[in-house]
Amino acid sequence: MDAFENLEVWKRSCRLSVEIHKLLSECKDYAFKDQLFRSALSVPSNIAEGYERGSRKEYIRFLNIAKGSCAELRTQLYIGMEAGIIRRDRATQHVQESSELSKMLQGLISKLAVTSSV
């Protein structure tokens, strides 16, 4: 890999962060808004930071953190949906994308782990 910017999982997680930011632009629950946006922002940020660390072990560690942030994001989307803060259709769409990102991250983690043990 020549740059994290070329990773599809990074590109998609950046797009999701922007969508979450736009989704919450009118939200008056600032604590919820901040927490949800931070979890969304954490995904591409950890992918990038781990990549730049320069070691496979650190990269895998940061990818796992990004994967954890996907789970946090999904949880907050479910809560926002049930609390009536986020429309059900929008929350469901973002939950699906976050779930896909988790799968992509797991695939990258598995690939890196296998390559490092060879």
**Short-list 47, 60, 42, 58, CA closest to 7:** 47
Q: What is the phi/psi pair of residue 54, to 5°?
A: 90, 0
Confidence of residue 2 (pLDDT cuts 50, 70, 90): confident
Q: Return the CATH number at 75.
A: 1.20.1440.60
The pLDDT score that the predictor gives to residue 118 is 42
Model pLDDT, residue 115: 76
Of the candidates 42, 63, 64, the one whose C-alpha atom is nearest the C-alpha of residue 52 is: 63
Prediction pTM value: 0.92
Number of domains in the chain: 1
Which domain covers residue 95, as residue numbers? 4-117
pLDDT at residue 1 in the model = 62
